[in-house]
Amino acid sequence: MFLILTKSPKELSVYKYLLVFTSIFEMVYSLMEAYLVPIHYSFDTTDLVMISVKDKSLSRSFILILNSIYWGFFGSTLSIYVVHFVYRYLAISKNKLMGTFDSWKFILWLTIPFLMGVFWCFLGYYLCGPDKETIELSRKHVLNSFGEPIDNFIHLGGTIYTISNDWRIP
């Protein structure tokens, strides 16, 4: 990051700030991942992002919030790359929209990843939070795979559909 700010050529202009923004963002994201140690677990039609609570000193509800923020960071990462590619495309094509990166509108470009992160965060917390059906469907799979009950984990995710014994999809 130091080299980007001090040794990069002037032709990079605002792109170097986009690189610094991405670097700082990814460092914070990796620190969150190092603390949470999320487990991405899939079986049948169920996908979960699980976090073990046995080794965490924080409350279960706060870890659930951190897990949803982790989801938000994932969504933000995707849109940060989109902003990078849009910048590169506009630079190569010499499009007049390139001027939006060289003015105060650059801040608007940076709000796109922020807003996408907020969207993913709320999506995870409110729509993909733990529910009875997912917990019951996951109970034996998690115990078989990890040797621990599902109650030792906070998770976000869900089941896309379930197949009952009479082959109905509810």
Q: Is 6's pLDDT higher than 90?
A: no
Distance CA 91, CA 10 (A): 15
Higher-confidence position of 3 and 146: 146
Q: List b or e across 102-121, with b for residues whose CB sees 16 or more CB atoms inside 10 angstroms.
A: eeeebeebeeebeebbeebb
Tokens matching residue 143:
């115990």
Residue with tokens 């902003």: 83
Distance CA 22, CA 159 (A): 33
Residue 147 dihedral angles phi and psi, to the nearest 5°: 70, 20
pLDDT one-digit tens code per residue, 41-63: 999 888 999 999 998 999 999 99
Q: Is 69's pLDDT higher than 80?
A: yes
Q: For residue 170, tell me if it sits in a domain.
A: no
**How is the chain split among helix, strand and coil, in percent rounded to 5?**
65, 10, 25
Tokens matching residue 122:
């709320």
Q: Is 8's pLDDT higher than 80?
A: no
Tokens matching residue 96:
């007049």
Q: For residue 50, tell me if it sits in a domain.
A: yes
In the chain, % of residues over pLDDT 70: 95
Res 168: pLDDT: 52
Domain of residue 39 covers 2-159
Q: For residue 164, tell me if it sits in a domain.
A: no
Res 120: pLDDT: 95
pTM of the model: 0.82
- Return the top range by mean pLDDT from 2-6, 47-51, 85-89, 99-103: 47-51
Q: What is the largest CA-CA distance in the chain?
A: 68
Q: How confident is the model at residue 98 (pLDDT cuts 50, 70, 90)?
A: confident
Q: Is 21's pLDDT higher than 80?
A: yes
Across the chain, mean pLDDT equals 88
Structurally, the chain folds into a number of domains equal to 1
Res 94: pLDDT: 87
pLDDT one-digit tens code per residue, 111-154: 999 999 999 999 999 999 998 888 988 999 999 999 999 999 99
Q: For residue 168, tell me if it sits in a domain.
A: no
In the chain, % of residues over pLDDT 90: 59
Tokens matching residue 24:
């700082």
Give me the mean pLDDT over the 88-112 stretch. Answer: 88
Distance CA 145, CA 22 (A): 35
Distance CA 133, CA 104 (A): 48
Q: List b or e across 142-157, with b for residues whose CB sees 16 or more CB atoms inside 10 angstroms.
A: beeeeeeebebbbbbb
Q: For residue 8, tell me if it sits in a domain.
A: yes
Q: For residue 169, tell me if it sits in a domain.
A: no
Q: For residue 118, tell me if it sits in a domain.
A: yes
Under 8 Å between Cβ of 75 and 120: yes
Q: For residue 71, tell me if it sits in a domain.
A: yes
